[in-house]
Chain A
Amino acid sequence: MWLVVVPCVVQAKQLAIVTDTANTTTNLTTSDLVKIFNAHTRSWPDGRSITIVVRDPSSADMQLVLRKLFGMSQDQAHAFIQAHKNAITIAESDDEVIHLVSSTRGAVGVVDLYSLTKDVNVLKIDGKLPVEQGYLLRGN
């Protein structure tokens, strides 16, 4: 009899960048997004301040974000968030990210694609939506 070693088949993640529905931005380049998440860009083109809402850097979904947007390790990200408390908010769950983003003008967050609701807008990255080939925030 074959016994299973319990290797987990992990599916490639697809993460969405979301903003509040009043935000008129629909597309960002990778470079723009990296600048936002590294707190180099602090306001939207219309002048509203940017609030970043993300999950805890140690959560599974955040590994892709750390690698592709922050360019930091978990420890570095923790320290970075501590140092930028005014601009970055940590949420406990994707639902909380959606809630905080939808209720905070100028907020931008990252959620799993399958958590999306009508309360937020989904931004394209380099002209691509999460479901499209070559989308930045897709992978393991």
Chain B
Amino acid sequence: MLRTHVIVKTAIRSATLLGTVFVLLFVAAVANGQQSTLAQPDSPWTTLPLTSKSPEAQRLVVEAMRVGLDLVEQEQSDVMFRQAIKLDPDFAMAHELLAQNSLDPAEEVAENAKALALKNHASPAERLVIEWWQDATDHKLISAITKMNDVLSQYPHDKWIIFMATNWLTTQTQYERAIAVYERSGIIDSPGLMNNMGYCYAYMREFDKALTLMDKYVASMPKDANPQDSYAEILRLAGSFDKSLEHYRAALAIDPQFYSSQFGIADTYSLMGDQVRARQEYEIGFQKFPMPELHQVQWKTREAETFIREGDLKGADHAFQAIADDAHSKHMSQLEADTYRQMAMYQPDPKQALMFVSKAEAALKDGRNSMPASIHQEQAQILRVRVEIAVKTGNRQTVNTVLARLDEMSSSSTDRLIDTAYHGAAGAALFSQHKYDEAISHLEEDKNNPLSLKLLASAYQKIRYSAGAKRTSETLANLNDPTLEQAMVVLPFRKCYEDPSCSGNVKAVSLKK
């Protein structure tokens, strides 16, 4: 699903990580029925005000952010946001926070619109935050960046602002910048930020720094499950599967209801190659824990990927179809489209693949309970799959036609995901035409996708850039994100490494077992 496409687990808790800063806040005495803002008198640093006519609504939002950011109780914090909105329906920032935090796509859409409509009830600083996020949603990237930096310059030490900024930068794959914002903030005691930054370092593949931060995070909250869960996920990204399982189990020992860790165990077994055990662990999770739809779809998708990892495409079809049917019955159009798109991706028969692409497009056309930005992103990803299928069948005309549409979408948008979809597709098309130099310039723009990384390594090899081919192959071979692309590309890549009869540039990479 798109919202969690870029950051797998952080997205689950990302939005949850709101509000440590407000732990220290107090609720100002306010006159009944008048707008007032929440202040922070004891802090040496200025913090973002919260404007509401209801002191109780303000208190609830502060508490919701504390619960979300420090305790990683996203659903609980959403309940509090909703209570606050009930008390003060004009509380713009509460609507904004709920929009960002909600796991219900329909609620996200509705709350986003309300926050924007009510922004004039908020302080200038809150308005700036709402506009920043609105610009980001509308793909007005330069304006969003400018507003983010404006907010950061006003509140450089506000933990919540730092969280929002680093989180958004992470979704933009601007890990270096996110780390710079964090380090400049001077905040070293925020567990939520330790968590987020640990992921940033991990995405930069700076695992030593990531794990050092995780040690601090665990030490700061020894009785909390999330630090152990995050530690486990980062270890898994680093390829330390056995240690990862230990930490997931430690998280569940602390909090048996922390279902993210149960699914983390399942994901890890899948990456380790034990798909039967992985499915058993997923099923334990589904039977044991009630969870929001978005989480349910995410892990059902991971479970479906286990069939891809063991080469059982019929099993995968069955599992993915069940997810699509469920999404359809619940009117979650973008999730339904995304599921059909994924089905198209792994089909060996181009006709079958095109049938699923058409289903994806039909679901997207329905467009219910989906943010316009998500629909555009999905549309671009579907077009990319269309290009890849046309490349496979050698249909040059379709490649050019669909690529032109993607090009147009990318040119008229500043959305990173749409952009990478275009570059990935263009790179694949140019590679198939043996235009390696041109392909490289596109593929380098899509370096987080194993499909593009594989082509990039080959393209470097073709132009005799051995160092680039080796570096890219190493990156590819060591990717441990439980995604469909990882299952489709990385596993065969590693198998080739282990097979003496298999040739290719993978032999040049440094893998250790």
Instruction: Write the residues of chain A forming the contact surface with B, with a CB cutoff of 8 angstroms.
Output: 1-12, 112-118, 122, 129-133, 139-140
Instruction: Write the residues of chain B forming the contact surface with A, with a CB cutoff of 8 angstroms.
Output: 141-142, 145-146, 149-150, 153, 169, 172-175, 177, 203-207, 238-242, 407, 410-411, 414, 419, 422, 441, 444-445, 447-448, 471-472, 474-475, 477-478, 480, 494, 509-513
Report B387 CB to chain A, min CB distance, Å. Answer: 16
Closest to B202 in A: A4
The docked-state distance in angstroms from the alpha carbon of A130 to that of B419 is 13
- Summarize A's interface: helix, strand, loop or mixed: loop
Contact B206–A6 (Cβ < 8 Å):
yes
Contact A139–B441 (Cβ < 8 Å):
yes
Contact B172–A114 (Cβ < 8 Å):
yes
Contact B207–A5 (Cβ < 8 Å):
no
| 27 A-B pairs (CB sep. < 8 Å) | A2-B478, A2-B512, A2-B513, A3-B511, A3-B513, A5-B474, A6-B206, A7-B475, A9-B203, A9-B205, A11-B174, A112-B177, A114-B169, A114-B172, A114-B177, A116-B142, A116-B149, A117-B146, A117-B149, A118-B146, A118-B150, A129-B142, A130-B142, A132-B411, A133-B407, A133-B419, A139-B441
CB neighbours (8 Å) of B175 from chain A are 11
Report B160 CB to chain A, min CB distance, Å. Answer: 20
The docked-state distance in angstroms from the alpha carbon of A1 to that of B268 is 12
CB neighbours (8 Å) of B146 from chain A are 116-118
CB neighbours (8 Å) of B153 from chain A are 117
Contact A9–B150 (Cβ < 8 Å):
no
CB neighbours (8 Å) of A122 from chain B are 142
- Summarize B's interface: helix, strand, loop or mixed: helix
The docked-state distance in angstroms from the alpha carbon of A12 to that of B149 is 21
The docked-state distance in angstroms from the alpha carbon of A8 to that of B411 is 28
Contact A4–B205 (Cβ < 8 Å):
yes
Indicate the member of B206, B239, B448 with the most A CB atoms within 10 Å. Answer: B239
CB neighbours (8 Å) of B447 from chain A are 9-12
Report B436 CB to chain A, min CB distance, Å. Answer: 16
Contact B141–A131 (Cβ < 8 Å):
yes
Contact flag A5-B204 (CB < 8 Å), given A10-B447, A114-B169: no
The docked-state distance in angstroms from the alpha carbon of A118 to that of B142 is 10
Contact B240–A5 (Cβ < 8 Å):
no
Indicate the member of A2, A116, A132, A139 with the most B CB atoms within 10 Å. Answer: A2
Report B496 CB to chain A, min CB distance, Å. Answer: 14
The docked-state distance in angstroms from the alpha carbon of A133 to that of B410 is 7
CB neighbours (8 Å) of A12 from chain B are 444-445, 447
Given A2-B512, A7-B478, A132-B414, output 5 extra A-B contacts at Cβ < 8 Å.
Answer: A2-B494, A5-B509, A112-B177, A118-B149, A131-B141
The docked-state distance in angstroms from the alpha carbon of A118 to that of B472 is 37
The docked-state distance in angstroms from the alpha carbon of A113 to that of B174 is 10
Report A3 CB to chain B, min CB distance, Å. Answer: 4
Contact B173–A11 (Cβ < 8 Å):
yes
Closest to B173 in A: A11
Q: Which A-B residue pairs are the 7 nearest by beta carbons?
A: A131-B414, A2-B239, A7-B475, A3-B512, A7-B474, A114-B177, A4-B478
